[in-house]
Amino acid sequence: MKIGFIGLGIMGKPMSKNLLKAGHEVVCFDLNKSGMDEVAAAGAKRAASVADVARECSFLITMLPNSPQVRQVALDQGGIADNAKPGTLLVDMSSIAPLAAREIHDGLKARGIRMLDAPVSGGEPKAIEGTLSVMIGGAQKDFDEAKPVLATMAASVVRVGEIGAGNTAKLANQIVVAINIAALAEAMALATKAGVDPELVFQAIRGGLAGSTVMEAKAPMMLDRNIKPGFKIDLHIKDMGNILETGHAVNVPLPLSAAVMEMMQALKADDLGGADHSALVRYYEKIANLEVRRG
């Protein structure tokens, strides 16, 4: 299948490469030339613009930073709505606000273009492995059409409801991830300050009820003081903003999410916005005057 892929950042690059490995033809575009160069070197065809991708492909994937960028690519002059053929299917795999997904869907529908909102979880490592989790909102028939393609990039592809439901599920995911990382950081800080090797604490608790995928991924990074981003603090701040906005819109208080958002904002103020979200441990290091590391 010929697939148009727009957005070749930290996630989009490995995702598009996995499409190529699965035998699909990929037509790619990104404003960042280095992203284009890397994916083209793997066998993708370069496009000169969003419009060129939309004209050439009837199956489109977008992987963009946030709601404004998806809205621009989809609906602004020279974008998908202006150039895609009626019947084209857009699978937006960005993490955006659910309301924005519905608005973009409605704008495209007026032009005869179909859309799924299909955000992902797993970060760069699982994007590289092709084992992402994809949460999808949209029509069942569109999901059925897209699922075999998405399965080449993911271990789990689940439709959770109509348009916007995918991003609602992603916001729920990001709440659990953020609070788990913060709890892990707090636990590592406590162990360190109490004079107990945090690595041994990790080994002791990982097999019990406290154990989780988040712990397995992030505890080693904390212990190694590795803040190379698999998922940046800045991006999680974006998600937390969407979480709090959505919570306010539907009258759900989210006090734990609000607390972790402020911790992330403090890290951003310390120039750690580009660090991995496991750098939440640095927040505790600063306020408790300690350093978490392997014994």
**All residues at 6 or more sequence positions from 274 whose CB lies less than 8 Å from its CB, including other chains:** 229, 232, 233, 234
**Helical segments of 9-161, H only:** 12-21, 33-41, 50-56, 67-75, 80-83, 98-109, 123-129, 140-150
| CB 15 within 8 Å of CB 63 | yes
**What gap in Å lies between CA 220 and CA 201, rounded to an integer?**
12
CA 283/CA 267 separation, integer angstroms: 7
Q: Measure CA of the first residue to CA of the last residue in the chain; give whole Å.
A: 51
CA dihedral for 241, 245, 250, 251, sign (positive or negative): positive
Report residue 223 as tokens. 């212990």
Token pair 């109490």 is found at: 194
Amino acid present at 61? I
Determine whether 218 is an active site residue. no
The answer to whether 291 and 251 are in contact (CB under 8 A) is: no
Q: What is the DSSP letter of 276?
A: B
* Separation of alpha carbons 200 and 168, rounded Å: 37
Residue 21 and residue 53: Cα distance in Å, rounded?
Answer: 20
Spot the catalytic one: 13, 17, 170, 218. 170
Residues known to be catalytic: 170
